[in-house]
Structures are given as structure tokens and as C-alpha cells.
Amino acid sequence: MSNLPMQPKQPYGFARAIFLPFQSGPGSTAFVLKSALFYALALTMLFVLFGRMLLGPMEDFIVVMMEIETASEEEELALVGKMFGAMGRMILPYLLIMLGGWAIWTMVEAALHRRVLLDEKATGLFLWRFGTDEWRTMLAHLILFMCYQGLYFVVYLVFIIGIMLAVLMGSASVILGVIGGIVAFALIVVGIGLMVWVLVRLAPTAALSVANGEFAIGEAWQVVRGRIWPTVGAYAFHYIISSIVYYIVLAIVGVAFFGSIIGKFTNLGDNTSGEEVWNLVKSVFAEPSTLVGLTISGFILFFIAAIWMMLIAGISTYVTDLYKQDMDTESVDVFD
């Protein structure tokens, strides 16, 4: 006999779903702000440490691209080799930044799951750690990413086949072409809907794995059962509305940063060579004031991004919490 709840019993609170990190118990706002601060500081330090390793290869890459524009056919082959060599030297620092950033975020997300699902109210200055919960969370991220990539490829394939079908049918008859276009559009909509449905059903894997103390992708499929549409709505809210807010902040920070350095490029004219432009860009971005401004801008964006990602992660935490409450209620009903 299955120990899964037959029907959802706990009411779904949409406001709580989209703002759970700020409603996770006493000190929830402080927890969110501390976590965002930790994420922003750690990621900024990661870029400061390993971002410098990117500068040399990036400079070589840009110089080669500029040289290719005026190179002969014989010189182009050698320059292409240099270009790929520069790209290869970018891989290591890029991977270090990417994997480090992933690990930092995983620490924040796992701490949120433990706070809500295990009632772990960590105190003190440092609220995060890296252990088995974090490894399970990273595995859940990896599986979800692979599912997304696979489903995206299928939807894209359906899109291409649908377009080809519509063109072939249209070459035979206008009416058939219209019908083919409608069928292609319907297939694409169904494909996108299927992708969203699968990803939302698997989204609670990390939260449930933390709650259960073991990797729980099989059971995670049941968590959103009966609550799929409000959960899709909660994700849509953050991926649409909250992303608009984030990009507004991004635009403000970007305008402020580039506004602070734009005056240094006023001497550029129509006759300025590409090499002169590049040398000026290098000198401007080597100035301490520019580096400080770039670091502060990055920190602000990382801080806002952390809050946004915590709000998104909170949705899976919330539905997992409801699911666990349903299971507890089911057990009480059985024994009653």
C-alpha cells in the first residue's frame, strides 16, 4: 500500500508560495538579506580571484579578431588557430567561476530548504555549509538541467518539423498550408506545455531530498500533484514579473556605471582606428576607479539576483512543505 497522500489536504496560499523566503519564521527577512549578502560577496570574490585569469585570453581573442579583419587568406589560418587557443585558455577560469557560483548558490538554497522543512533556524554570522544536502541539491539541479535541455531539443525539433510540414503542405495548396501551420503551432504549444509540466513536477526534487535526508527524485514527481496550476502560476509570476524588476535594476546599474566612464571616450572620432579604441578601452578599465565601480555594480546585481533566485526556490520548498503536511494528515486519518 502506497504511503503517498491520496489528495491534497492543505490549502494552497499563492502569496505564501511566491514570498516564502520572507515568511519562513522568525527572522526570515534577516535570513534572506544575510543569504543574499553572502551570495553576492562570495560570488564577487570569485570573479575578483578568477576573473583576472580571463582577462589575458579575452584580450588575445579580441586582438586576433581585429587582426583577422585586415589579414590575408594565408594569415587568417594562423590567426584562427590563435583565436581558438585564446578561447581554450578561457575554459579553466570560466569553469572555476561557474562551478564556484553553483556551489555558493546551492549552499543558500539548501539552507532555505532546511529552515522551512526541517525547522533548522541557524543562528550566528555564518548560516550556510556544504555537506550531503548540498550534494543532493546539486544532483537535483543537474538532472533538472538535463531534462530541460532534452525537452528543449524535442520542442525545437517539433518546431522545425512543423515548419517543414507547413511549407510542404502550402506548396500543394493554400488551404493545406494554413492547416499545416495550425497543426505546427498546436504541436509547438503542446510541446512547450509538456516541457513546463515535466519541469514543474520535478522541481521539488532538491527540497524533498533535503527534507527526506536522501535523494528523492522518484517521490518528487508526486509533490505537485493536485497543485500543478497554481504552482505553474507562481513560477510564471517570478519568471515574468520579478524578472522585469530585475532587468530594470540591471538597466539602472548599467546606466550608472557606463555613465561614470562615458566621459573618458569623448575624444573618439570617426577617424579613430580600431586599435586606438581598444587601447583606450584597456586603459579605462585598468583604472582603479573603473574597477571599483565594476565591482560595486556586480555586487549589487548579485545581491538582487540572489533574492530573486531564493523566491523561485521558495516555490518548490512551499509545495514540498504542503506535501509533507498532507502525508502527516494522511497518517493521522489512517490511525484514527
Do 323 and 222 contact (CB within 8 A), yes or no? yes
- 255, pLDDT greater than 90: no
Question: How large is the average pLDDT for residues 91-102?
Answer: 88
Q: How far apart are CA 261 and CA 256, in angstroms?
A: 9
How would residue 72 be classed by pLDDT, with cut points 50, 70 and 90? Answer: low
List pLDDT tens digits, range 292-306: 888 898 899 999 999
How would residue 315 be classed by pLDDT, with cut points 50, 70 and 90? Answer: very high
Q: Concatenate the DSSP letters of all residues of 22-69 into one string.
A: GGSSTTHHHHHHHHHHHHHHHHHHHHHHHHHHHHHHHHHHHHHHHHHT
List pLDDT tens digits, range 262-281: 776 666 665 666 666 667 77
